[in-house]
Chains A and B, each alone.
Chain A
Amino acid sequence: MDYHSPASFAEASALAANATGITRFLAGGTDVLVQLRSELVAPDTLIDIKKINGVHDITRNADGSWTLGVAATGAEMSEHAELGKDWPGVVEAMDLIGSTQVQGRATLTGNLCNGSPAADSVPAMVAAGVTVTVTGPDGDRVVPVADIPTGPGKTSLTKGEVVSAVHIPARGDNGGDAYLRFIPRTEMDIAVVGVGVNLRLDGDTITEARVSLGAVAPTILLVEDCAKAIIGTTLDEDALDALATAASAACNPIDDKRGTIAFRTEVAGVLAKRAAKIAYARAKGENV
């Protein structure tokens, strides 16, 4: 296995474009090293992007949006009070992944590019409208997070392409987000269902909403019908029931030891209601 630690994303992209066999990029390594060890994936080329300038930075831009370096860890995100104030749902979703030790290494970009349908940070990012910059042989392009995963373990990134930055929109006024997941134990497990909700209010009425589901389909879903169910409402009981119905209807899950199809479908609706209530309360300025 060849190991490279390039000084720029253009160099990283060129290394990947010219490599033969299996290439993996190394950010936090909490998935890549497990795959390496279990011999699930035996990369011929490993490209460590952590020596590139700025990859640990968490920056608030002049317009209120955020740019995160691709090696910014969960621990660094949780310790960033301002980021957590703007986007508590994104930060809490990332923070749910693994132990303190894993948080010291794991990254949003790694969670995204690992391609797991049960990735915790991804529904929160999809709901928040997060985009990533992808650097490739033909230059940079900006891609919505929702368009990166294409199936379990698969992404839309082509040979020579690497995610080089994460962009979180400006929070703006009267907005709130939340992420909830169900796991069979209290800590450190893989989501059976994950729900991210991001919404904005005008007074008591929801004017914008994005609802994303994880672990209930081959990819993480952005569910338009869930958004429609709550936009224009004050999140009353009828709206919550319509939201739950839409969430359950969008599910296309697998049966496995963590949860059956029927269970995942039911729980998606329940969690969507709970996450929406939290996002709504946050949009009202409540500290929940």
Chain B
Amino acid sequence: MSKFHVSTTVNGDTVEYLCDPRETLLDCLRDKLNLTGAKEGCGTGDCGACSVTVDGRLVCSCLMLGVEADGKQVETVEGIAEGDILHPLQKKFIEYAALQCGICTPGILVAAKSLLEKNPNPTEEETRYWLAGNLCRCTGYDKIIRAVMDTAADLREAS
């Protein structure tokens, strides 16, 4: 089985890895690059715990092959904070206690950041639809939605 050499950009850093063509981008991020923020929940694109952006587009990294990332710009939850300074979404998730077990949180943060970049002023309905592909079995979603809406309001005021 021949392996493929992949050169890609993850959170602004150029990285390279060798992968079997059957390995998903999620496998490559976690097992080759030690970026374990993206989680494998279902592995079939239903739960969103593995959400990342590729060339600015929100995707499930379990539904994309590692070899397909060649030459792309990948952003994961590890790239959201700037060093020790948490992203406003991360701060707000702590403030609102918008998580319990935390498995879904990296995916939700990546998805919510992607929403606010596209739409700085989403309605609650737009936010709920955007995040409908991110399943959370702890919070009942309300705290997550409120944290995202409040972050959006803060970011609008700051800009």
A residues at B contact (CB < 8 Å): 1-3, 26, 28-30, 33-34, 36-38, 46, 48, 50, 73, 75, 98-102, 104-105, 187-188
Q: Contact at A30–B67, with CB atoms within 8 Å?
A: no
- Select from chain A the residue with minimum beta-carbon distance to B115: A100
Query: What's the minimum C-beta distance from A12 to chain B, rounded to whole angstroms?
Result: 15
B30-71 CB contact bits vs A (8 Å, 1 = yes)? 000000000000011110100100100111101111011000
- Select from chain A the residue with minimum beta-carbon distance to B55: A104
Residues of A within 8 A of B130 (CB): 100
B45, B58, B68, B111 — which one has the most chain A CB atoms within 10 A of its CB? B45
Query: What's the minimum C-beta distance from A120 to chain B, rounded to whole angstroms?
Result: 16
Query: What's the minimum C-beta distance from A129 to chain B, rounded to whole angstroms?
Result: 30
Among A34, A50, A188, which residue has its beta carbon within 8 angstroms of that of B44?
A34
B residues at A contact (CB < 8 Å): 1, 4, 21-22, 24, 43-46, 48, 51, 54, 57-60, 62-65, 67-68, 111, 114-115, 129-134
Query: What's the minimum C-beta distance from B84 to chain A, rounded to whole angstroms?
Result: 29
Query: What's the minimum C-beta distance from A203 to chain B, rounded to whole angstroms?
Result: 37
Q: Contact at A1–B21, with CB atoms within 8 Å?
A: yes
Residues of B within 8 A of A33 (CB): 24, 45, 62-65
20 contacts between A and B (CB under 8 A): A1-B21, A29-B68, A30-B45, A33-B24, A33-B45, A50-B68, A73-B57, A75-B57, A99-B48, A99-B133, A99-B134, A100-B111, A100-B129, A100-B130, A100-B131, A101-B45, A101-B48, A102-B133, A105-B60, A105-B63
Among B22, B63, B111, B134, which residue has its beta carbon within 8 angstroms of that of A30?
B63
A188 CA to B115 CA, complexed, in Å: 18
Among A36, A104, A187, which residue has its beta carbon within 8 angstroms of that of B58?
A104
Residues of A within 8 A of B57 (CB): 73, 75, 104
A265 CA to B57 CA, complexed, in Å: 39
Query: What's the minimum C-beta distance from B43 to chain A, rounded to whole angstroms?
Result: 6
Q: Contact at B63–A2, with CB atoms within 8 Å?
A: no
A188 CA to B131 CA, complexed, in Å: 12
Among A1, A46, A101, which residue has its beta carbon within 8 angstroms of that of B59?
A101
Q: Contact at A3–B58, with CB atoms within 8 Å?
A: no
Among B45, B54, B111, which residue has its beta carbon within 8 angstroms of that of A102?
B45
A3, A73, A99, A102 — which one has the most chain B CB atoms within 10 A of its CB? A99
Q: Contact at B133–A37, with CB atoms within 8 Å?
A: no
Residues of A within 8 A of B54 (CB): 104
A101 CA to B115 CA, complexed, in Å: 11
Q: Contact at B133–A100, with CB atoms within 8 Å?
A: yes
A33, A48, A75 — which one has the most chain B CB atoms within 10 A of its CB? A33
Query: What's the minimum C-beta distance from B21 to chain A, rounded to whole angstroms?
Result: 3
- Select from chain A the residue with minimum beta-carbon distance to B111: A100
Decide: A3 near B63, CB < 8 A? Known: A102-B133, A187-B129. Answer: no
Residues of B within 8 A of A37 (CB): 24, 43-44, 62
Query: What's the minimum C-beta distance from A235 to chain B, rounded to whole angstroms?
Result: 30
Query: What's the minimum C-beta distance from A239 to chain B, rounded to whole angstroms?
Result: 34
A50 CA to B51 CA, complexed, in Å: 21
Residues of B within 8 A of A100 (CB): 58, 111, 114-115, 129-133
